[in-house]
Structure 1
Amino acid sequence: MKLAGLWYGCCCLVASTLCLGADVGTATIVDGKAKLLRGTAWYKLVEGTVVRDSDVLDAPEGAEVQIELVDGGVVSITGPGALYAAAVTPRDARQAAAAELFIPRGWAKFATKANESRLRIRTPLGSVSTANAVAVAHVAPEGIEVFVENGSVKCLDPGKAEAGASDTKAGEFCGRASGKSFAIIGRAPSPFLSALPRQFMDPLPTRAAKFKNATVEPAMDREATLPEVQAWLNSPYRAAFLKRFEPRLSDPSFQAAVSGNAKAYPEWNNAAQPAPPVKIEQPMETPKQPPEPERKWRWPWEKSGK
């Protein structure tokens, strides 16, 4: 039992270590009960926490989280919402790769600076790419909406290349409903403006300097359960999350949850099967030697009375 517990603990440690990627930025505003999914465990998110590649930020109803990216961009989300740091811009400014953040739901505001930061916001219904803009996006199952305050962005249908997309410029609104393509109109609709989070009406504050020399380590809360990560296991990043959470199959409760819905995770079918019972071989008994036959003769000196 102790060895099983030790093995499970080692697996979780390895999973967490493997998921420690490059720095994405710093959480400079954390308001509400936001939390961080790093590796396979939940952590309590606090201001000053360094957000890393492959981290997931979860903002429940009423919560707000702002990240100031290493390349100078700023991204803020409000709950209920979430953000996955899928890829980050290399520290070497000579490389032009864009940071990619996946937002499956919620409100987000982002700001990028010319010649400093490139950002791609990916959602289930399309992507928004920019290198110099301030914009607000709303992501919901029925559609995605983007209003551009300054600069310009490109709104991309799923699978479409950035080169063929039109610019949505300052003051314009770009939206896409499920099953349709992005459309650009000259201003934001009234329902969008009415639902806009109040704090997004103001410029995003920059507070990164406050945490420049601070070392903030988030406190681990607990391991994530299967229901909590199902949405990520079914996201466009399924392969990464399947690999990430495979060590959790060493935990009987997690393995049981997966086995109860095995059709949803065929990649785990073999790993999720309970280990066969160990057959203990019984030691072979030494065959008994037959008794020696009784002698019918005697030596002369063995005769009785002599």
Structure 2
Amino acid sequence: MFVSRRIFTLSALGMVCTIAHAAPAGPLLTILDRDAFLLRDDARLALAEGVALRPDDILEVPAQGKLARLEYADGLSLALGPGSRALLAPRLKGDRGGARTYLLAGWVKLSAPKGVAASVLSPALDVATTGGTIVLAVRPEAAQVFAENGEAAVRRPGNAGAVQVVKTGELLGLAATAGAQPELANRPTQAFVSTLPRAFMDALPPRAARFQGKEVEPQKIGPLSYADAQPWLDAESVALRRANLPRWRPLLRDAEFRRGLAAGLKAHPEWDPILNPPPPKPAYR
């Protein structure tokens, strides 16, 4: 298979607006095939079609799940596949600000209408498009970006300024090994196609209008546990972990959550001064 690399700068592409932009209002969950779950505030909830989602919501589609499709007011749709964990509207700043979601693991398909710019972040690759349809896969062995339609601007977190363009039909892969470099193929590999969620192969019609005027509430399953939060507390991105401190801090009132944080402090050292604040300085007269 032909493999090449094309690397450009942001200024040359004029794509700054596709990487960092203001995130719109939260989406509606309009298609749910099998179970999916929501972590919101201090609760774990079961999702249902018609639920309105918010910034800071964390969505989980288990491995046995199939599809959770979200629709935004600007016409953009975002679908999560099996084994996905995604944070909506992550609180990151700078060139990673304004993203629709942060995909910690799993599959996401983003379809943007003509003229609509959107981006998706992940531990290995950040992806942006204007009016395109892209698929991002984040798995233990590799991260991959497929441009189904239109162009995708892809950047590695921490690699300021360098953007790689993925054109319609191309697949960009980055192996999860030290020193690996992105490889661009002119078509998707058989291995990628065989693992692509089946629901991603269909063009799904918009359904948001069906839920206008309806208030659908997610059903509470139980309290949000340390185990629920741990994948995010231990995330590789220090910036993401720090940005999420306000989200998790209210859960310190739960003794089990606090014990979990303390036991795993090496994986999230930013919690040390919160769990073990320094003694107050003595007052001098």
- State the TM bucket, normalised to the shorter chain: 0.7 to 0.9
Alignment partner for residue 258 of structure 1, among 253, 257, 261? 261
Q: How far apart are the structure 1 equivalents of 2:253 and 2:24?
A: 27
TM-score by length of 1: 0.73
Q: How far apart are the structure 1 equivalents of 2:261 and 2:24?
A: 30
Question: Which amino acid in structure 2 is aligned with residue 229 of structure 1?
Answer: A
Structure 1 gap ranges (5+): 1-20, 89-96, 274-306
1:246 matched to which residue of 2?
249
CA 1:180–1:265 in 2, change beyond 3 Å: closer, same or farther? closer
1:25 matched to which residue of 2?
27
Q: How far apart are the structure 2 equivalents of 1:136 and 1:252?
A: 40
Q: Equivalences for 1:33-44 in 2 at 5 Å?
A: 33-44=35-46
CA 1:223–1:198 in 2, change beyond 3 Å: closer, same or farther? same
TM-score by length of 2: 0.78
Structure 2 gap ranges (5+): 1-22, 92-96, 277-285
1:125 matched to which residue of 2?
124
CA RMSD of aligned residues (A): 2.4
**Worse-matched range after superposition: 146-155 or 241-250:** 241-250
Does structure 1 retain, via aligned residues, the 8 Å contact 2:153–2:165? yes
Does structure 1 retain, via aligned residues, the 8 Å contact 2:146–2:169? yes
Q: How far apart are the structure 2 equivalents of 1:61 and 1:166?
A: 30
CA 1:251–1:191 in 2, change beyond 3 Å: closer, same or farther? same
**Structure 1 residue matching 2:215: 3-state secondary structure:** coil
Q: CA deviation at 1:169?
A: 1.2
CA 1:210–1:182 in 2, change beyond 3 Å: closer, same or farther? same
Q: Deviations over 1:204-235 (max 9, x none)?
A: 33111111221112122222111221111122
Q: How far apart are the structure 2 equivalents of 1:242 and 1:222?
A: 22
Does structure 1 retain, via aligned residues, the 8 Å contact 2:88–2:100? yes
2:173 matched to which residue of 1?
175
Moved over 6 A (4+): none
CA 1:226–1:261 in 2, change beyond 3 Å: closer, same or farther? same
**Structure 2 residue matching 1:228: 3-state secondary structure:** helix
Alignment partner for residue 165 of structure 1, among 153, 163, 166? 163
1:198 matched to which residue of 2?
198
CA 1:171–1:264 in 2, change beyond 3 Å: closer, same or farther? closer
CA 1:269–1:197 in 2, change beyond 3 Å: closer, same or farther? closer
State whether structure 2 residue 64 is matched by structure 1 residue 65: no
Q: How far apart are the structure 2 equivalents of 1:245 and 1:98?
A: 21
1:153 matched to which residue of 2?
152
Question: Which amino acid in structure 2 is aligned with residue 242 of structure 1?
Answer: L
2:3 matched to which residue of 1?
none
Does structure 2 retain, via aligned residues, the 8 Å contact 1:157–1:181? no
Q: Which has the higher contact order (CA 8 A, sep 6+)?
A: 2
Question: Which amino acid in structure 2 is aligned with residue 234 of structure 1?
Answer: D
Q: Equivalences for 1:1-306 in 2 at 5 Å?
A: 23-63=25-65, 64-87=67-90, 98-115=98-115, 117-161=116-160, 164-178=162-176, 179-235=179-235, 236=237, 237-269=240-272, 271-272=274-275
Identity %: 32
Question: Which amino acid in structure 2 is aligned with residue 30 of structure 1?
Answer: L
